[in-house]
Structure formats: C-alpha cells, structure tokens
Structure 1
Amino acid sequence: MNFAPSSEKPDNSRPAIEFDQLVRTFGKTTAVNRVSFKVFPGEVFGFIGPNGAGKTTSMKILSTLDTPDSGSAKVDGFCSVNDPERVRRRLGYMPDGFGAYANVTCEEYLDFFARSYGLRGKDRIHSLRNVMGFTQLDQIAQKPITGLSKGMKQRLCLGRALIHNPKVLVLDEPAAGLDPRARIELREMITALADDGKSLLISSHILTELAEMCDRVAIIEQGGLLAVGSVEDILSGDHQRSSEDTTGGQVVTESGQLVVQILGDAGAARSWIENELSLTVRITGNSLQFPFSGSAEDQAALLRKMVDSGIAVVSFSNKQRSLEDAFLHVTRGRVQ
C-alpha cells in the first residue's frame, strides 16, 4: 500500500521512534519525567495514561511541535530538535482535533497539504488518489469539510497525516467520539498501515480498542513511565519497568480467575463451590466467577466434580485478562 513514490528503503535494524530520558516541565509541573521507550518498524504501539499524564506533550515533542528540557525524541534516527525537517518528512501527526476551513472541499484540503510537503506533478496526483482511496474520501471529494461527520473528519485528518507517505504515524486519540462502525473501520485502516511497514504511536482512553490493535503498550502516569510491554507481559510482571513502577513485577491476581456458566440455580452452585473450595464466589446472572490457582489438571478435576454433583455446566474457562487489568495494576490514580 504505497501512498507515494519513495526512493528510501526501509531500515528495520533501528527503532522508528525512540524516546530517551525525555523531560519537559511547565513551571513547577513536570509533565514528562525521564520517559524512555522504542517503537520498531511495522509496530502498533499504544501510549496510555489518564488525562494530564504527559502523553500529548511527549507526542508534540516527537512531532517537532514542542521542545524538551532534556533528553531526546527521535524518528528514524533523527532528533526532533536537531533535525526537525528530516523528522517532519518521515512523520505524520494526527492531533485530537483540527480546525475546519470554510468553502474548502476534502480534495482541496488534502491537495493543499500535498503541495505544502513539496509534492509536485505526478507524485502529488498519485498521493492524492491513493490517500483518498484508502480513507474512502474519494466518495465525498467535493464535499465541504465543514459539513463532514465526526468519522469523516477523522478520516480527513488521517489522510492529511498520510499525504507525504511518512514512515511513522502519531495518532492522538484517533477514536474519540466515533461511533462503533467508524471505530471498526479506523482499526482496520491502522492494521493495514502497520502491515505496510509503518510504525504507529497511538494514544487513547478507549483501552479495549488499543488492546485489539497494539503489539505493545507504554503506561504513563503523572509524567512518569510505569511499564512497557505487551498486555500479557505487563499482567505477568515480565515487562520493562522504570523507577516509577511500584508493582515490583507482581502478577495480576485476576489472572487466576475461573468463570463458569451454568444452567439452573446459580445460588446452589455457588454454595457447592464455596463449601468445596472454601472461597468466595461472585454471581452475575448464571455466571459464577471465583479465584482458582490450580493447574490445568486441577481445573479438569474440578469440572468433573461439578458435573458429577449435578451442576449443569455450560462453559468453564479462565477469565480473559485485559488491557484494563494491566492499566489498573500499574497505575495509582495520581493526577498532576
């Protein structure tokens, strides 16, 4: 999915994005405190944290829109402070909101930015056609952007970030305010871009969306990076930790939960489990959830005993661990 001709060959041997001990203060507030992590070519990387945690500030520094007090942010090996022009040619930035222009159509808007990036002649036409086709804006090319829905505006903003065929995309809250269909379509586009070899750094408060898209995540709170890794690594304690991480590599206790769906009297089934295992069972409808740290063989033995005792088991499984579990595990609810 090549949006514009490029003479550069991808280099997968070095990070596409690199933060190294990044620090940014505003008066007495440290918005970003020694943040360090890397994102590699073709990777979808989630950047999560509460409001005011430092996500947008870090992204703006990477995108050459702000400067750090110390440390560095690099794109494809080039520093955002020392080589801003090289960074801008390699990076597409999608902010969480952008201004609309009266009497400007979708095609005119993207054409303006294509020209701003120095695309001329066939290269400009090629880029416009490919980006508008990919984002499905070709169907509304002549529509004024002031009349677009939220979903179409997000597509237009993504198209603007893609118009110069960057290696790296920085997306700040791209799914905010979108309806379910628009979110699904956005997720499909992000997956397609990663498959094309682009690196994506995405911030979002919609953790379920990130869990389905991201290869790895970084969790930040009060300016400090708490954890970097896959959801599974963070939940198991096998993740990159910083001095701000207070979890000590502990495993999330929720990982030892069983969920049993039954037919019939859930109260009677709960009583049987509590008497048999001496633990507390939570009921939701006909679903029973309770902690269980036994092996696979122990689970099989428990299931057999439940069936033999007359409990009609419909399903029996481990509770699926989520990005929300990881987020709640490493954060402490601190705000600046």
Structure 2
Amino acid sequence: MTLAIETIDLTHRYNKKLVALDRLNLRVEQGCIYGFIGPNGAGKTTTLRILAGLLSPTKGEVRLLGERLTTRAAQRLVGYMPDFFGVYDDLRVWEYLDFFARCYGLRGARLRQVVDELLDLVDLAGKRDAFVQTLSRGMQQRLCLAHALVHDPPVLLLDEPASGLDPRARVELRELLRTLRDMGKTIMLSSHILSELAEVCDAIGIIDHGRMIISGPLAEVQQQLATGARARLRIARESDVVLALALLQRHPLVSAASAAAADPRALMIDFSEPLNEEQCAAILAELVNAGVAVSEFSARSENLEELFLRLTATTGQTNS
C-alpha cells in the first residue's frame, strides 16, 4: 500500500546551532490515526509545518500518497490545523466556512452543500448563525477542524488539537477523529495528553531532539519497549515485609523491589522482562509458601505516559 505520509532523511536547521529535525524518517499508513509524541521543542510543529507546505526543509524529501511534496500538492492533499489558530470574530459560523471554501474555488450549490455538510459533521449546525466569538473553546476547535476539511483533503495534520479542552470536549473530539478515520482520512496529530492518544491512535511515533526514537502500531511499540513490567504487592502483616523484600530481591526476574514511602506494607516491584500469568503466579506462590501473607498482587505493563517519560528521561530539550 502507498504510504499516506513518508519523510526521507528530513532535516531542518533554523541556524547553524539550532537543528529542529535531524534526518527524520517517518512512515504513516493510509487510513490510520497517527500520534506524534515528543517533549516541547522536539520538532513536532516543525515537522507538521513542513508536511503542510508552510516550511521548506533544509534537506530531505517528503512524499504524500506517493507524490513528492510541492506547495501545490500540500494545498490539495493536506488539511492543516495549527496549535494556535486565528478566527474572525465578526463572522458568523457559516460565513467563516463559506469564506475559506471560496478560497478553494467552491461556488454555488456545491459551496452551500459543503458548508452544510461540514457543520453537520462537527455538530455545529445549530450554531450556524452564531458569531464565532461566542463559541466555546471546544466549538472553535471543531470549527477550525471543519475549516481544514473544506477542500476534502485525504490527509489531516492536527497540531495539539485537544489543547485547552475540557474533558467533555476532548471526548467529542476523539469521537470526531474516529468518524474521520472511518471516512478514509489519514490523521496525524501531535499531543501531550498521552492517555487520549492511547485511546484513539492506531500508531504512534516518539520524537526527541529532531530524531525519531521509535514508530509503529501502538501495541507493537509498547511490546517492543516493554523492558520491564511492574507489579504492586500489599503485605497483610508488616512483620513479613523484610522477608518478602529479601525473597524478591534475590529472584532472578526481579530487577528492583522496595517498599512504598506512603505505605510500608505496599511493595513496588520492577521485573527485568515482561512476565506472563504463570510467572506471576509462581512468584506469588513462592512468597506464600515462605509464609508471607499477601493480601494484594497486581501486575501491569507501562502505559503510554510512562513509556514516553522513560524514553525521553535522559534527553534535554531544543526549540522547534
């Protein structure tokens, strides 16, 4: 299948010292929601601006749906929603979309049809005659997303689309993104709300210092980087804590074990490799057979936020 987005050794320098992107290689399949993750200054916004045709790379190549990027191709293939967007407060909602649709050459009945369909899609039909300045933050976000869709692009680039939204608005945005994916759109979005990305994205890429650390389907990335699962134990008798720690710290699969500061009977365990259910059961049985009364045992893998923090823990930040 032709990739929706592909970059080849993409490099961008703002000056001799500031390298925003350093030979970035990115591959996004068609019809997926791709989460682009990185700390502030990692190069996310620079990447999206290049993909949107708003910024020329210093070196490297960009392909959209197999077509080498040019300004005209980007305008035709991409809908871009920046992290800070301008709205015209003195326009009504339908006038706002009408204006941008005319910029793309839409006229007459087709123009009116597109405006009406987009208002329905983003659930703003009931606000069509309201002034833009009266809309809530979430409604303005949806209106700007409709603006990015006026020319029906196959690829959407969304820079921090959930920024500043309340929980209900984030849920509504998440459902809208799923609807757009079901319509065949490829969506690439950057975000710091990692729990939201885990729920909506099919694939993720983690970038730091302008370089891609890892990229791929979400489940595969989590599995590939699962260098150590974790478990939490609660010991019924405080007198058993020392024995439990001694047994765990000698276990070949345990890399670290310690008591929680807030609760000395709660033990946190890091394993040197992800454990299956039989291995967890064997460790629990070993503790019980040694006379340790265990009242709670819960194993878990790293979530997306923990994975991100671990991968970027040793790196600094640069400006993008």
Distance 1:295 1:172, change over 3 A: closer
- Contact 2:62 / 2:68 at 8 angstroms: preserved in 1? yes
Give CA-to-partner distance per residue, 1:223-244, whole Å, 9 cap, x none: 22222123443344x4xxxxxx
**Equivalent residues in 2 for 1:291-306 (5 A)?**
291-292=270-271, 295-304=276-285
- Residue matched to 2:311: 330
**Partner-residue secondary structure (3-state), 2:232:** strand
**Equivalent residues in 2 for 1:187-336 (5 A)?**
187-236=174-223, 238=224, 251-253=225-227, 255-260=228-233, 267-268=238-239, 270-278=241-249, 280-283=257-260, 288-292=267-271, 295-304=276-285, 309=291, 311=293, 313-314=295-296, 316-331=297-312, 332-336=314-318
Shift of residue 320, structure 1, vs aligned partner: 2.9
- Contact 1:94 / 1:171 at 8 angstroms: preserved in 2? yes
Shift of residue 271, structure 1, vs aligned partner: 3.7
Matched AA of 2:248 = L
Distance 1:289 1:66, change over 3 A: same
Q: Which segment drifts farther, 284-293 or 173-182?
A: 284-293
Give CA-to-partner distance per residue, 1:15-51, whole Å, 9 cap, x none: 1111111111111111111111111111111111111
Distance 1:235 1:224, change over 3 A: same
Distance 1:146 1:299, change over 3 A: same
- Measured in 1, the distance between the counterparts of 2:150 and 2:240 equals 59
Tell me the TM-score normalised to structure 1 length.
Answer: 0.82
- Measured in 2, the distance between the counterparts of 1:35 and 1:20 equals 7
Distance 1:257 1:162, change over 3 A: same
**Partner-residue secondary structure (3-state), 1:280:** strand
Q: In the alignment, does 2:23 pair up with 1:46?
A: no
- Measured in 2, the distance between the counterparts of 1:139 and 1:199 equals 28
> Structure 1, unaligned stretches of length 5 or more?
1-12, 239-250
- Measured in 1, the distance between the counterparts of 2:315 and 2:169 equals 30
- Measured in 1, the distance between the counterparts of 2:104 and 2:163 equals 27
Q: In the alignment, does 2:4 pair up with 1:16?
A: yes
**Partner-residue secondary structure (3-state), 1:24:** strand
Aligned residues: CA RMSD: 2.4
Matched AA of 2:281 = A
- Measured in 2, the distance between the counterparts of 1:324 and 1:89 equals 35
Shift of residue 268, structure 1, vs aligned partner: 4.8
Tell me the TM-score normalised to structure 2 length.
Answer: 0.86
Corresponding pairs, count: 305
Shift of residue 98, structure 1, vs aligned partner: 1.3
- Measured in 1, the distance between the counterparts of 2:220 and 2:110 equals 43
- Contact 1:114 / 1:164 at 8 angstroms: preserved in 2? yes
**Equivalent residues in 2 for 1:108-123 (5 A)?**
108-123=95-110
Distance 1:102 1:296, change over 3 A: closer
Shift of residue 305, structure 1, vs aligned partner: 5.4
**Partner-residue secondary structure (3-state), 2:13:** strand
Shift of residue 154, structure 1, vs aligned partner: 0.7
Give CA-to-partner distance per residue, 1:84-139, whole Å, 9 cap, x none: 22321221101111112232011110111112112223322222222111211112
Give CA-to-partner distance per residue, 1:206-252, whole Å, 9 cap, x none: 1221122212211111222222123443344x4xxxxxxxxxxxx54
Shift of residue 260, structure 1, vs aligned partner: 3.8
- Contact 2:243 / 2:292 at 8 angstroms: preserved in 1? no
- Residue matched to 2:90: 103
Say which of 24, 33, 56 aligns to 1:35. Answer: 24
Distance 1:101 1:269, change over 3 A: farther
Give CA-to-partner distance per residue, 1:161-208, whole Å, 9 cap, x none: 112221000000001111111111111111121122110111111122
- Contact 1:53 / 1:220 at 8 angstroms: preserved in 2? yes
Give CA-to-partner distance per residue, 1:59-94, whole Å, 9 cap, x none: 11111111111212222222333xx22321221101
Name which structure has the greater RCO, CA cutoff 8 Å, separation 6+: 2
Distance 1:302 1:87, change over 3 A: same
- Contact 1:307 / 1:313 at 8 angstroms: preserved in 2? no
- Measured in 2, the distance between the counterparts of 1:157 and 1:85 equals 21
- Contact 2:226 / 2:301 at 8 angstroms: preserved in 1? no
**Equivalent residues in 2 for 1:78-227 (5 A)?**
78-81=67-70, 84-227=71-214
- Residue matched to 1:7: none
Shift of residue 304, structure 1, vs aligned partner: 4.2
- Measured in 2, the distance between the counterparts of 1:208 and 1:269 equals 36
**Partner-residue secondary structure (3-state), 2:257:** coil
- Measured in 1, the distance between the counterparts of 2:42 and 2:193 equals 15
- Contact 1:14 / 1:77 at 8 angstroms: preserved in 2? yes
Say which of 41, 46, 51 aligns to 1:62. Answer: 51
Distance 1:26 1:313, change over 3 A: same
